[in-house]
Amino acid sequence: MDGNLTVEVDIQVMLDKPPVWTPTNTVCSDMLAFLDAADNTDVSFEVGSGDGKELLYAHGPILSARCPTLASLAEGCDPDTPIPIGDVQADVFRMLLRFIYAGEVPSKKVIHEQAKDIIRVADRFGCTGLKLTAEAELATAGITTENAAELILFADASNCA
């Protein structure tokens, strides 16, 4: 005996079907990179009011395909002249653009904190998916006897489902 121990193990894994490999879909991340780079944009928005104004850029053909209401604001406008959107916070409008470009939905925490602002902007510019997501989060955040009347009035004023 030389003090060696040899253990032989056979392992079999039974699968109903073999795993299928598919390449990673990068369309959403590519579209967000396209938005963030602001290359070849033909639409600009001046969002916010007072000292909080911010320029955000977009691509007309993408807006036409994904958000015709917003695209209609840019029709006939000079590409070098920003379209004023004074009654919307820049961070909320940025969320709207990210949803338009890639279907990106803000985190539940962000939606919970800014649900009403998101719903107003999504309703105004016709982004139904973003609006429904924010509505659902607002509803699940808790409707109480104290806030029910306020939320019903808000829902009616914002065309909520």
pLDDT one-digit tens code per residue, 52-61 = 799 999 999 9
pTM beyond cutoff 0.85: no
Quickly state the pLDDT bin for 86 (edges 50, 70, 90). Answer: confident
Output the pLDDT for position 4.
Answer: 84
Q: Which residues contact 64 (CB under 8 A, 6 or more apart)?
A: 71
Output the pLDDT for position 89.
Answer: 93
Output the pLDDT for position 1.
Answer: 57
| Contact present, 45 and 93 (Cβ < 8 Å) | yes
- Nearest Cα neighbor of 85 from 59, 51, 55 is 55
pLDDT beyond 90 at 131: yes
| Contact present, 86 and 113 (Cβ < 8 Å) | no
